[in-house]
Amino acid sequence: QVQLVESGGGLVQPGGSLRTSCAASGNIFSINSMGWYRQAPGKQRELVATITRGGNTNYADSVKGRFTISRDNAKNTVFLQMNSLKPEDTAVYYCNALIQSDRYYSPRNYWGQGTQVTVSS
């Protein structure tokens, strides 16, 4: 079994900052890409940022220059530093990871339970 557990969401005023983290645990042989997605009410889930094991990053245009994704491979953890937050960043943020549980198994996609980020004055 593999679990992704997120933390760090909350309520913040426009222009403020938040840092979310996501730790993977369980039967893990290796973790390929990790990332963050978000889903606002009435909207589809969308990509926020991804990071490869080697540290290559990819960001949605809407968050470039404001959000930074990073990871600690030794701790199987991915972080999302969110600065200059806007009301339109309000959403449930989901952690995602492509995890290989055993060297003989193909990697599988796993999701966290989600953490609410609300940007409001």
User: In whole angstroms, how far apart are CA 39 and each of 26, 48, 105?
Assistant: 26, 10, 30
80, containing H or E segment: strand 77-82
Residues 65-85 pLDDT 10s: 999 999 999 999 999 999 999
**How confident is the model at residue 79, as a pLDDT?**
98
Give strand pairing partners of 100: 30
Residue carrying the six token digits 């840092």? 19
**How confident is the model at residue 84, as a pLDDT?**
98
User: In whole angstroms, how far apart are CA 70 and each of 42, 50, 90?
Assistant: 29, 9, 21
Residues 10-67 pLDDT 10s: 999 999 999 999 999 999 999 999 999 999 999 999 999 999 999 999 999 999 999 9
Determine how many CB atoms are found less than 10 A away from the CB of residue 4: 22
**How confident is the model at residue 115, as a pLDDT?**
97
DSSP string, 10-26: EEE-TT--EEEEEEEEE
| Residue 65 near residue 7, CB atoms below 8 Å | no
* Radius of gyration of the chain from its Cα atoms, rounded to whole angstroms: 14
